[in-house]
Amino acid sequence: MKVAILGGGGFLGRRVAERLAAAGTLGGDIAELPEAAIPAGTEVVFHLAAVVSGAAEADYDLGRRVNLRGTDAVIDACRRLVAGGGGAPRVVFTSSIASFSGGQAAMLDDGAKQVPANSYGTQKAAAELLLADATRRGFMDAVSLRLPTIIVRPGRPNKAASSFFSSIVREPLLGLAAELPVPDDFKVWVGSANSAVAWLIHAAAMDTAPMGLDRSLNLPGLSVTVGEIIGALEQVRQGASALVARRPDPVIAGIVGGWPAGFTAARAQALGFAPNEGLVELVRAFVADDLEATRRDRGMT
């Protein structure tokens, strides 16, 4: 099987590649745009490349260029592949819950309307529609996954507005201070790195016929408060939560505060997407799988 991973330098892209290689199912190229993005014979494309939420809000042109025109480039590459006699590849796209609004009181079902409250969410919602139409036209077989906020991300903080949800766990486990820009009772829809990789790989192999024209899915994450995340940290590493400092930031709070706090995700579960593990298991998995690598990446060993 020939697989292309766009955005393969990110932590999810690397994990998908490693998981596929370990399973013996990754036998072809991992290519990037422009020319070799989707070489002849490609069967699966993981479209993970994106400008994240805070960066897309700060730089409108950059967000549009990467998040929208980048998706256009994927569609054009798939069109060329099909026009050359190849089959329509499965395209697995990472969308986001940021394509919705509703805030802290929202628990959305699968029929909820996307009304983004930020440029990143708008770009993701638009990309979903473009990929669904390209599927209808026979250029690809797309599945768009609206990922929850993924925690705990290894490595260093990034420019995503949601980066602090990982930092309040990762930094204290490294013995470093972390800033919390929202109240402890702030609710967020989260998923683990392990669940995200499993969802991506399931989307690459699932039967898409039951999806019909609607090619987008809300995934079965966890609706938790920041206080519960900090509590899970403390349960795994006693005393670590003392390193979390409350520092209100109205700009960050304004971005993440518009995102829904939960989803029913019934459709995804009916299509075989497994529910996320619990918070304590999530933190323990980060300690087991990523903590030492993060130390090395940050020059702490």
- The pLDDT of residue 1 is 77
CA distance 174 to 292: 9
CA distance 207 to 184: 41
163 class by beta-carbon count within 10 Å (0-12 exposed, 13-18 middle, 19+ buried): buried
- The pLDDT of residue 140 is 98
- Which domains can be identified in the chain, with CATH numbers? 2-297 (3.40.50.720)
Q: What sign has the CA pseudo-torsion 116, 117, 120, 126? A: positive
The pTM assigned to this predicted structure is 0.92
Distance of CA 220 to the CA centre of its chain: 13
> Would you say how long the chain is, in residues?
301
Q: Check if 120 is active-site.
A: yes
Active-site residue identified among 46, 100, 120, 259: 120
Per-residue pLDDT of the chain (301 residues; tens, 9 = 90+): 788 888 877 889 888 988 877 765 453 333 345 556 788 899 999 999 888 888 899 999 999 999 999 999 999 999 999 999 999 999 999 999 999 999 999 999 999 999 999 999 999 999 999 999 999 999 999 999 999 999 999 998 888 889 999 999 999 999 999 999 999 999 999 999 999 999 999 999 999 999 999 999 999 999 999 999 999 999 999 999 999 999 999 999 998 999 999 999 999 999 999 999 999 999 999 999 999 999 999 999 7
Q: How far is CA 211 from CA 144, 181, 205, 236, in A?
A: 11, 38, 14, 40
